[in-house]
Structure 1
């Protein structure tokens, strides 16, 4: 039966000579759904929807560029030999941490220019960021990447996965651990938690810092299962190192801000 399994077509449609890849379509879907949620939440918090749309229009392309630069820089040994592949983001190779860095820097600059609170804006966007990441992992699924070690079909069936996922995890004659799915599900649970925390006694900025901590925990665990990690050394995975720094940093920052400042309520 395995010999008859064919992977899903990574190309969504053709427009003449132009190929529209599912990878890009799925990322766009994640961004759109995230924007809808952010606008709805922003209205409750007194943020003009136009400000959120303007920020996303700047931050999204910059985040994609910085995510690609981040990935390519750690895989330079390959890309210096294949320079034409550097811009081929539709083939995969976008590092989420690089995108987060680009988005945060863009948001800081934007909020300063518009005289807006960065922390308030970051709180509003936090669930949307995590939702976009959850959906974006399905782009990796379509490209058959971001997977873990080789496993048996019976192992995948024991997880009660639908056949379309099991079959897509069949790559070059071997079944692989669907780590993309683990991270996606972790992120979806995180979105639910963040939206639930809106009624908690949070201070401004803590929604975003909670997002950062939650994602970092999940990414650290899932990254240890992957076989295609970006490596700093032969034993240190870059994503795990960055996740550990982000987790510790977010906890310290929440503690420091609570201890040293009169913080504004999240709902203010």
Structure 2
């Protein structure tokens, strides 16, 4: 599969990058629209998105490189080649959360309120971003058969894309993309509820994504490992617990639409 979408002035533009860019654009629109509705200053929204995006990408790359340290120590020039893949979602989320926490405290905004605002945008961005793995033919599952994929009603073009070096593989990127899309739809429907509690959206994000990633990761053949354990599954379980705690501890507190951003 050709990973290059087009060429500009001698520079290749990769499908992987375009998928991430599309996710960022959609997330920006959603956050800007909801932020304005919730009374956030335009400048704060723009700065929040810009800096969180940069920190998130750096965090995703550092996270991936740390757990593949031997390879990148031997090939340091590969560290900057993000277009080849190697952005760990969990690393990006962790880095983004840390930045948003300190940034909201500095600007005197509610940390949980901001996370509720951005949660749907993050999960739909992940849904788009996963398609970058398709074009890079990475983050797939184990070996399977053409007929098995047909029986699962996987679209033909995805089946063809998962035909790598003469073998067919489970399109785990597709499973996760659909899972994130469903999570996004649920969150957008929930947001219409006037009785929606503070913390539900970000709590749901942690739980929903954690459950999906935990089970989908079992199919992955390229998982980051730590002492024989799949790191993504460990982090997913932690995320589920955090999500439950957030929802439970905020269940009797303010409603989302009544909660002040400051």
Tell me the residue number matched to 1:67. 60
Q: Which of 145, 170, 174 does residue 177 from structure 1 map onto?
A: 170
| Aligned-pair Cα RMSD in Å | 1.3
TM-superposed deviation, 1:162: 2.5
* CA distance in structure 1 between the aligned counterparts of 2:153 and 2:210, rounded to whole angstroms: 27
Are the equivalent residues in 1 in contact too, given 2:200–2:246 (CA < 8 A)? no
Give the count of matched residue pairs: 257
Tell me the residue number matched to 1:4. none
Q: Which of 203, 213, 220 does residue 207 from structure 2 map onto?
A: 213
Which runs of 5 or more structure 2 residues have no equivalent in the other structure?
Answer: none
* CA distance in structure 1 between the aligned counterparts of 2:155 and 2:196, rounded to whole angstroms: 39
Which runs of 5 or more structure 1 residues have no equivalent in the other structure?
Answer: 1-6
Asked if 1:264 corresponds to 2:258, the answer is no
Query: How do 1:1-268 residues align onto structure 2 when only pairs under 5 Å count?
Result: 7=1, 9-200=2-193, 201-234=195-228, 236-258=229-251, 263-268=253-258
3-state SS in 1 of match to 2:117: helix
Q: Deviations over 1:38-70 (max 9, x none)?
A: 122222222233322211110101100010000
* CA distance in structure 1 between the aligned counterparts of 2:238 and 2:3, rounded to whole angstroms: 34
* CA distance in structure 1 between the aligned counterparts of 2:95 and 2:172, rounded to whole angstroms: 25
Normalising by structure 2, we get a TM-score of 0.94
3-state SS in 1 of match to 2:5: strand
Q: Which moved more, 1:34-43 or 1:97-106?
A: 34-43
Q: Which moved more, 1:81-90 or 1:193-202?
A: 193-202
* CA distance in structure 2 between the aligned counterparts of 1:249 and 1:59, rounded to whole angstroms: 21
Normalising by structure 1, we get a TM-score of 0.92
TM-superposed deviation, 1:22: 1.0
